[in-house]
Structures are given as C-alpha cells and as structure tokens.
Structure 1
Amino acid sequence: MKLIDLYFGDLEAFDEARNEPLYFDKTFVVPDSVSSEGLKNNRRFIVVGRKGVGKTAIQMRLAEDLHGKGYLTCFFRFSEDLRADDYSEISKTQSRISFSNISNDRNIFLHYDFRDVWERVFFNRIAQAMKENGHTNRFTELVCPTGSNLRNIFSGLGRALTIKVSANFGAIAAEVDFDVSQIENGEVSLKEYNRISRELFLRYCVEFRVYMFIDELVFSRLDARDDEVKIRAAMVRDIVKTCRELNNFCAQNDLDFHFICSLRPEVRNLINDHDSEIGKIVDGKDAPLTWYIDSGPRRSLLDEVLSLKVRHSSISYSTRSIPEETFVDKIISFGRTSLSFRDFLRTNTWGRPRDIVRLLLSIQKMNPNASRIGQAEVKRALDEYSRASAKELVDELSVLHGQEILRALRKGITRRTYNDADDLLESVPLSNINEEKFIEELFLLGLIGGFQPETGNYYWAHRGETNLKSHLKIRIHPALWNEFSIRGAE
C-alpha cells in the first residue's frame, strides 16, 4: 500500500471527527493538563491553548462521550460561522458608535456591547439541537420558530438592538407576564426578548442536559482590516462574558446546561490589553491545555500520537493495522548528526498533536508513491513542513503585529543562532514595538528558544521553560530552518 492510500488525519480536528469518526476515536490521546470532568458551568469553562494543541479535538471527544450519557451537544465555531455579510449588519445594531468611524481600540471596547446578540445566538443553537432531536416546546417556538433559522448573526436585529418578532410572539410571551404594549412596529428590545427566552428556558428545559461548545475564537490581521479585527476582538470578549453569565444562570438554577469556549493565548492577551476586566474571568475559569515534552527516557504522549496515527492509517480500507516500529525509520541522519525518530520529533515539533499530523501529511504529499516513511521521505518533506509551520506561527504573531511581521522575519532571520536578544532584534526590522515583550512572544510561541552550543541542549517553552534565560544563545526553531533558508547557516 502506498502513502497516498493512507489516512493520517486532518489538521482540523472538527473535520476529522465528523468525517472519519472511527479514526478520530482510535487515535485520540487524552492530554495531561485538561480533565473533561472539570469543564462544567460551575467550574472551568474556558479551554486555553495554543493553535494546534487540541482544543477542538478535546471538545469533539467530550461531545462524543456526552452523547453516550444522554446529553445533547451543539457547536458554534466563531471564525467559521461568522460570515462576511455579518459585518455589514453590525452598524445597524449599535446606535452609539459608527462601525466606519472607529477612532481607537479602546473606544470600541467601551461602546460596543454584543452580549445580548450572543445570548440570542446561543439560545437559537440550543433550540435547533432540541428540535433536531425531536423536542419542541414554547422555548423552541420562541427562539427558533419553524422556517426561520438565522441567516446570519444579526438577522432580524435593528438599530439600538431591537428584534423583529413573529405573529405568535405575544401569545408565547404572555406566559411570562410580558406586556404586549411593548411591541412597536413588530419589534421588541433584544434585552426584553432574551429575558423572556430565559424565563421559558427555565420553565420548559429543566429536563434536558446540554453542552454547547463555542470554538475557533480566533482572528488574524493577515486576512482582515484593522477595524474588522477590533470588531472581532470585541465580539470574542463578549462571547466569554456571555458564557460566564449563562453558566452562572444555569448553575444557580440547577440546570444541566454548560457553555464551554476555547481561547488562544495571544487572543486572550490582546483582549486583556484593552479590557483588563476580562482577565478576572479568564484567569479564574480557565483550563490550560499543554503537551510538554521532557527529555527523559519514557515514551511521551506525542510519541503515542504518532504511533496511533500510523497504526490506524489504513482504517478506511479495513486492512490490518500498520506497526509504526517497522513502517517508520528508527534513525534520521543530517550530515554527521543522527537522531532517533523520537528525538527528531522532539527537536522538529512544538509538542502538539497537529505537528505530528502536519509532518505526516507533508511526507505523504511529497512522497505519494512511497511504501513507508524512511529518512529520504522525511527529508523530501521538510520544505513543505517548514513552510506550513512558519505560516501558522506568523498567523499567531499577526494578531498583535499585523502583516509587517512576515516581511520582517523573512528579511531579518539569516542565521540559526544569535548571541542574544539584542543580536536578533538588530536583524529583524520592526518599528514601534516593545522589544522585551516581542522577544517573549517569540519564545512562548516557539519561534526561538535558548541554546547551549557546547552541549547542544535546547530550552523551549513547550518543554516547560517559563522564560528565555539571558545567559543562553538564541536558536531559531529547527523546523523553520528550511523556510528561512538557514539550514546550513550559522
């Protein structure tokens, strides 16, 4: 069987879990740092982790487990479900400030408030899940009437956050003492609409058990205008606040409903820079997701991911499993340096499941007719693997630094090793940055690490180092050497 015939997983865990559920189930590895039992409305509800560490995967696996326990589950994926036409509707909902006239970052965080919008969206998704499973009641009739699925996030909303209501709204709302005289031109305030939704939620949904996952709370300055980034950041902030409010509401009323969201650290930090109050929420209710790799002899979770991804790669063909120990070369040599494949992974990844999938897919792409993964196949794939890895890193950095960062890195990084932070900063042409903070970002994201030339030892954030030691030299991550054309440059 050729590599092209095998399936090594998807970079997007959501796609893998939906399209290849058996493979996803057999190759899922539980990380050390997050317990699914701890993700509840009255405990921790924010999964924080870098891109690729498995935030979506753990939510998909948790959803699968919850189905077996009788829970309904539903997903809202911010970066996927928020459409381009949503932005054209934003200014209609916010009467205090114009979307086209944003003077500064803090202005938008002070004046834009999307919490009522997100509460409506989340209730709508829950009602959809109930209806899809054959459950209808007054709550579902109100927030998800037949034939009226939301076309976009702001469907039916007017200026000053009013909402168009259906003809039978008055009859439904009367059950919770709503004064029908508040309906003007077929609209009521969104805040009042949500109040009624909560009342009906309490009356008619107490028997249900539901987990809602809010995922992909990400954005990038590489593919959006600056004002659009500000809007998205304000939205993410309000999603976190809304999840907190709804979790508290459900916990206080003994409802088995849980709103779980995921954040990347750089998104959390950007929002916190503009609204310090969000830090009190995130820091108190977060569950960090990490995959540290130590240098000891024991087999790591990352090794287990590789073994399972290879072993079950022929699962779609119902053939026998593929043993990783004979399918993959045990030693990879570069000039005079030879590494075990395990050490190659430790050196050329960031300790994340997605790195393993990306490497396997790169090998498959560049060697479609190969029958196994040998040293030659790995080397042919390094350009592709390095390119994709660098793109992801730049995407994370761009949240704070915009498109300038890619040009600066390509122009400035010409060596594998730098004497210290000042040496690196002199080479990278970036202006108007906090240099100390920038170096810290490069270290925490894994673009650079500490290095001891005399021992060959690396000191990386993903191996548990908390900061970049000043007495060490700085090393560009080896997985990026090909993309920056520095594999042979000291």
Structure 2
Amino acid sequence: MKLSELYFGDLEAFDEAKNETDFFSKTFVVPLSLSMQSLRNNRRFIVVGRKGAGKTAVQMRLASELEQSGYFTLFFRFAEDLRADDYSEISKTQSHISLADVANPKQLFLHYDFRDVWERTFFNRIGNLLLEAGYQNKFTRFVSPAHSPLQNIFAGLTRSLSIKLSTDAGAIAAEVGVDLSKLEKPDEISLKEFNRVARRLFVESCAQYRMYFFIDELVFSKLDALEDEIRIRAAMVRDIVKTCRELNNFANQNDLDFHFICTLRPEIRNLINDFDSEIGKVVDGRDVALTWYIDGEDGTSLLEKVFNLKVAHSVDGLSQTPLDVSQFVDRSVTFGKHKMTVSEFLKTNTWGRPRDVVRLLLAIAKMNPNSKRIGEQQVKASLDEYSRASAKELIDELSVVHGKAILHALRKGITKKTYDDADELLKALPIPNVNEERFLTELFELGLIGGFQPETGNYFWAHRGESFLHPQMKIRIHPALWNEFGIRGYD
C-alpha cells in the first residue's frame, strides 16, 4: 500500500472522533498529567493546554465513555458555532455602553457582561437535546418553545435584555410564581428572570437525567479580527468560564448529575487575565493542565506511543492486520553526523503534542504519496511542509496578543539558529510597544525558542517541563522551524 492510501488521523480531533470512531479509540493515549475522573462539577471543570495538546480529544474520549454509561453529552464549539451575525447583534444586549465612548479597552472589557446570554444559550441547547432524544417536560417547553436551536445567541433578545414569551412559556412562568400582570409587557420577561425560571424548572424536571456539556474551541486570533472584536470575543470567553462555574455550583448544590466542562489555551487565559484579574480566582484551582512531556510508566515516550499507534492502525478499513511499525518505519534518521532515533526525533522536532505527530505523518504522506514505507528519505522530504504548517500555527498563537506585526517581525528578524542571549534576539525582532521581558517569556512558553547549551548539546524547552528561560543560556530557535525560516544551514 502507498502512503497516500493510508489514514494517519486528523489534525482536528473532533473530526477524527466523529468520522473515524474506531481509529480514534484505538490510537487515543491518556496524558499522565490528566485524571479523567477529576473533570466534575464539584472538582475541576477547566482543561488548560496548548493548541494541539489534545483538549478536544480528551473531551471526545470522555464523552464516548460517558455515553456508554448512560450520560447525555453535548458539545458547544465557540470558534465554530458562533456566527458573524452574533457580533452584529451585540448592541442589543449591551445598549448601556458604546464602543466609541470608552477609550480604555480594559474599561470596555469590564463593562460587558454576557453571562445571562450564555446561560440562556446553554439551557436552550440542553432543552433541544432532550427533545431530540424524545423527552419533553416543562423545562424543554420553556427554554425551547420552537423545538429548534437559537439562530444565534442573541436571537429573540430586545435592547432591554428581555425575551418575548410564547403563550405556553408564559403559562409555565406563571406556574412558578412570575406575576405576569406586573411586567411592563405581559408577554415579555427579563433575561435574568427567564434564567431564574429555567433553573427552577431544570431542578424540577431534569433531576433524573445525567449530562456532560463540553464547551470547546474558546479561541480567537488577532490575524483575522479587529481590536474591538477581539475584546468582545475575550469578554465572551471570560463570561463562558464564569457561567460554567455558576452552573456547576448550581448543579452540585441541587444534587444534579450535570457537568459543564470548558477548555482554554494558556495564551487566551493570560490575555483575559490582563483585562480582568478576577478571572484568576475562577480558573486557579479548578483547572487541569494537559501536558505530554512526561514519559510513560515504562519509560517509553508517550509521543512515540501515539506515533506507533497512528502508523499501526493507518490501514484500518484496508486491512484487518495492523502494520508492523518496526518494519514499516526506519528506526533512526541521520542529519549530518548526528543519528537520531524516532523517539529522539519526536522529542527534538515537536512541541510534545499529539497534533505534531499527526502533522508530521500527514506531511510525510503528502510529500511522498507513492512511497510504500517511511524511511529516512521520506522524513527528510517532508520537513519543509511540516515546518511550514508548524510555523503557521505558532504565529497564529502569537497573534492573539501581537496581531499581524508578529508575522513580519519573525520572517524578517530570524536569520540563524542560535543567539548569544536575549538582547541579541530581541534586537532582531523589532515589535513596537512591546514589553520585552514578557515577549521573551511568551516566545519561550509557546515554543519558538528554548535554552541551549552548545557545549553539551542540551535543549531546555517549556514543553519539556522548564518553567523559565535561564539567562545564562544561549537561545535556540526550535528545530522544527528551521526549514520555514530558511536557517537550517545557519548557526
């Protein structure tokens, strides 16, 4: 079989888990930093991990296990499910503040409050899931009167944050103590009161159900959005996290087996914390870190295990017999005088993430479609493509804070593999109005640079567990980026 005929997985774990269920199940590896059982409403509900670290994969795996135990599972993907018209409708819910009137971005951020909007959105999604499963009660009739998802998160909201009730929903509200005669409009209820009624109905009508609600893809990039929209998205993400905490506390206090789990990237968490330092009180202590730098209990690299499983089962659907990885893949690659095992290559040329492994295998297959095995020649032929895709993702992450300026600075400024110290590197990367110390830390934490001791050949990377960049070390550009920046032959 040719490499082009094999399936090595998807960069998006959501797609892989949905479309290639068996392959996903066979090749999933649990990172040692995470206890799947700890993700509960009364313990931890936030998964923090770099892009590609496996946050979505962990949720999909957990969802599969939960469904087999009788739980409902539900996914809301922020970056995918939020539409353009959601932003155009924002003024309806935030009429007390104008983008043009607030010069201080932090002040603008603190004034926006989407928690009631998100709570209503989540209740609507839950109601529709129960209806699709054939369950109807007062809660579903109240939160999903049209038996359909909201067209957008602001659908049906007025400028005064009110919702127009159907006749049925109005009758249900009256049953739980809402005096419709005292409302300015008898068929219109405030969003806050709507959520109060929904919570009461939730307890009364849904205690017999069990559910995990996963909120994923809480991401955005300055490369494709204006500053005001970035602040709005950041405010939304902040309030999603706060809403999850409130609903988890509500479920736990009412002995409901409902759990709201969300994922965050470190750079998104840090950006939000810059605008609202109080978010740290919500995240810290309720989060789990998703890392892969720890080797397995038998001393085997977890990434090598992922690599071997993806290769072995790449024939699923074509053959009943997994590939013999030891025969299908060369066990070492030589660069110049340096010979590297597969494990060493993965440790040096990835950021310790499953997505890096899949990206490498996809690049190998793309650049060597007619090859029938993975040898040294095939690996080397794929490095330009692998480096290009890896650099693009890293630049996307850096753009969250620095916008488009980072792309120009990196392409123009990085001209060699090793820099004598931080000052030399910073001079090569002129970014206007940047906090240099923080910028250097960001480059280190995201993996563009690491500490380097040339006399021993040792690297010190954030993804390998180093907490900060030691000032006495030289600075090394990550080897997987050398091809894209055109510096492989420049020391």
Distance 1:100 1:229 in 2: 15
Q: Which range is displaced more, 292-301 or 282-291? A: 292-301
Distance 1:82 1:102 in 2: 25
1:290-324 per-position Cα deviation (integer Å, ceiling 9, x unaligned) = 11156999211111100100010011224311121
Q: What SS does the corresponding residue of 2:235 show, helix, strand or coil? A: helix
Distance 1:213 1:417 in 2: 42
1:209-255 per-position Cα deviation (integer Å, ceiling 9, x unaligned) = 11000000000001111110000000000000000000000101111
In the TM superposition, what are the counterparts of 1:306-317 in structure 2 within 5 Å? 306-317=307-318
1:19-57 per-position Cα deviation (integer Å, ceiling 9, x unaligned) = 101000000000101111100000000000110100000
Q: Which range is displaced more, 149-158 or 261-270? A: 149-158
For residues 417 and 127 of structure 1, do their structure 2 counterparts lie closer, same or farther at Cα, with a shift above 3 Å needed?
A: same
Q: What SS does the corresponding residue of 2:89 show, helix, strand or coil? A: helix
Q: What SS does the corresponding residue of 2:189 show, helix, strand or coil? A: strand
Letter in 2 for 1:308: L
For residues 129 and 297 of structure 1, do their structure 2 counterparts lie closer, same or farther at Cα, with a shift above 3 Å needed?
A: closer
1:363-403 per-position Cα deviation (integer Å, ceiling 9, x unaligned) = 11111111111111111111111011111111111111111
Q: What SS does the corresponding residue of 1:213 show, helix, strand or coil? A: strand
For residues 454 and 370 of structure 1, do their structure 2 counterparts lie closer, same or farther at Cα, with a shift above 3 Å needed?
A: same
Distance 1:243 1:57 in 2: 20
Contact between 2:410 and 2:429, CA under 8 Å: does it hold in 1? yes
Contact between 2:453 and 2:474, CA under 8 Å: does it hold in 1? yes
Contact between 1:293 and 1:346, CA under 8 Å: does it hold in 2? no
Matched with 1:68 is: 68
Contact between 2:180 and 2:186, CA under 8 Å: does it hold in 1? no
Distance 1:167 1:29 in 2: 51
Gapped runs of 5+ residues in structure 1? none
In the TM superposition, what are the counterparts of 1:17-96 in structure 2 within 5 Å? 17-96=17-96
Letter in 2 for 1:219: F
In the TM superposition, what are the counterparts of 1:70-469 in structure 2 within 5 Å? 70-99=70-99, 101-181=101-181, 182=183, 184=185, 186-293=187-294, 298-469=299-470
Contact between 1:366 and 1:380, CA under 8 Å: does it hold in 2? yes
TM-score (norm 1): 0.98
1:249-279 per-position Cα deviation (integer Å, ceiling 9, x unaligned) = 0101111000000000000000011111100
Distance 1:3 1:136 in 2: 50
Distance 1:166 1:363 in 2: 57
Q: Which range is displaced more, 293-302 or 11-20? A: 293-302
Contact between 1:52 and 1:354, CA under 8 Å: does it hold in 2? yes
Distance 1:295 1:239 in 2: 34
Distance 2:104 2:460 in 1: 39
Distance 1:295 1:156 in 2: 51
The Cα RMSD (Å) is 1.4
Contact between 2:417 and 2:490, CA under 8 Å: does it hold in 1? yes
Letter in 2 for 1:472: M
1:406-438 per-position Cα deviation (integer Å, ceiling 9, x unaligned) = 100110000000001001001111121111111
1:141-191 per-position Cα deviation (integer Å, ceiling 9, x unaligned) = 111123442111111111121112212222111221111122617321100
Post-superposition offset of 1:95: 1.5
Distance 2:430 2:285 in 1: 38
Letter in 2 for 1:405: I
Post-superposition offset of 1:100: 5.4
Contact between 1:102 and 1:227, CA under 8 Å: does it hold in 2? no
Q: Give the number of equivalent residue pairs.
A: 490
For residues 111 and 160 of structure 1, do their structure 2 counterparts lie closer, same or farther at Cα, with a shift above 3 Å needed?
A: farther
Same amino acid, percent of matched pairs: 66
Q: Which range is displaced more, 245-254 or 179-188? A: 179-188
Distance 1:396 1:344 in 2: 24
Letter in 2 for 1:314: V
1:307-359 per-position Cα deviation (integer Å, ceiling 9, x unaligned) = 10001001122431112111111111112221112111111001100000000
Distance 1:295 1:121 in 2: 41
Matched with 2:7 is: 7
Q: What SS does the corresponding residue of 1:441 show, helix, strand or coil? A: helix
Letter in 2 for 1:251: N
Q: What SS does the corresponding residue of 2:285 show, helix, strand or coil? A: helix
Q: Which range is displaced more, 335-344 or 28-37? A: 335-344
Contact between 1:294 and 1:463, CA under 8 Å: does it hold in 2? no
Distance 1:296 1:34 in 2: 14
Q: What SS does the corresponding residue of 2:314 show, helix, strand or coil? A: coil
Matched with 2:479 is: 478
Letter in 2 for 1:246: L
Letter in 1 for 2:476: R
Letter in 2 for 1:307: N
Post-superposition offset of 1:126: 1.0
Distance 1:425 1:180 in 2: 64
